[in-house]
Structure 1
């Protein structure tokens, strides 16, 4: 799941933090939501990306050392969101069976907010959620003592489509 891209611009650092940063997850969500809004993304796309990246941020803070960095990288075909930590080890990727897809219950699709909160409170569901929200366009890479979790969005935000 490695992105094939030619960068149109250098990565933009959305936010940096350490393990001592208060309310790090909430701050990461707010910073990413603002950056995606400024790029022209809206509504469900922003919500889905923020939820998926929240899983990356939470996993980095729980399983790796900081400092941490969240970046956006624009290419000709996509916008890539990355979360970097200082642990080069790639986590085990769960199996995503094709015949029994993981279903994310959302308030607008039935089940309500309580069902979604119950789902999110179960451990071990984070990468399944990322996989579902990104339709499989995500992954990890390791380089020079760091690990980066990434996910990709279409390059042209809905707000700017003809």
Structure 2
């Protein structure tokens, strides 16, 4: 999926916040879950979207100035979530290894506490998580003074079907 395809449909603002918002990732998860439940999305789509947006909101509030905005878009086949911040710089995209990204490396086996802490570190995993949850359907768009990070998930519907 291209970034342009992600931006073609009309957005719906789900939540706005500033750097002063307490526990922004938790608030974003709650706001997105409510919106997707109200739109009758499948539980698996909701769970994956909520986890992915938590990673994007964490990165936005950690590395970019606000204010911030989370938007939701829907096409006939997918739901697209966007997080906008006020840093137009696109970060370096990490390489995504073909094998499990967090298996112990040979050089760290038996490496003591430092090797264990490096393996268990929570930093640097967010985009890997988003990549896995979305099967690679995510990306960045940079505008004059803002950046949008987006991901897309298949639009599986709940039991009651379209409204």
The interval holding the TM-score normalised by the smaller chain is 0.7 to 0.9
SS in 1 for 2:60: helix
Partner of 1:146: 146
The alpha carbon displacement at 1:93 in A equals 0.7
Question: In structure 1, how many angstroms separate the alpha carbons of the residues matched to 2:42 and 2:90?
Answer: 31
Partner of 1:12: 12
Question: In structure 2, how many angstroms separate the alpha carbons of the residues matched to 1:91 and 1:78?
Answer: 25
Partner of 1:155: 155
Q: In structure 2, do the counterparts of structure 1 residues 120 and 139 end up closer, same or farther at CA, with 3 Å as the change threshold?
A: farther
Question: In structure 1, how many angstroms separate the alpha carbons of the residues matched to 2:138 and 2:158?
Answer: 20
* 4+ residue runs over 4 A deviation: none
Question: In structure 2, how many angstroms separate the alpha carbons of the residues matched to 1:88 and 1:141?
Answer: 8
CA RMSD of aligned residues (A): 2.1
Number of aligned residue pairs = 143
Question: Structure 2 stretches of 5 or more lacking a match?
Answer: 103-118
Partner of 1:55: 55
Please tell me whether the aligned partners of residues 40 and 157 of structure 1 are also in contact (alpha carbons under 8 angstroms).
Answer: yes
Question: In structure 2, how many angstroms separate the alpha carbons of the residues matched to 1:143 and 1:76?
Answer: 26
Question: In structure 1, how many angstroms separate the alpha carbons of the residues matched to 2:67 and 2:41?
Answer: 28
The alpha carbon displacement at 1:92 in A equals 0.8
Q: Deviations over 1:114-162 (max 9, x none)?
A: xxxxx8852101100110111111111101210001011223424328x
Larger radius of gyration: 2
* TM-score of the two chains, using structure 1 as the length reference: 0.80
Partner of 1:93: 93
- The equivalences for 1:124-143 within 5 A come to 124-143=124-143
Partner of 1:67: 67
SS in 1 for 2:140: strand
Please tell me whether the aligned partners of residues 42 and 156 of structure 2 are also in contact (alpha carbons under 8 angstroms).
Answer: no
Question: In structure 1, how many angstroms separate the alpha carbons of the residues matched to 2:73 and 2:122?
Answer: 31
SS in 1 for 2:13: strand
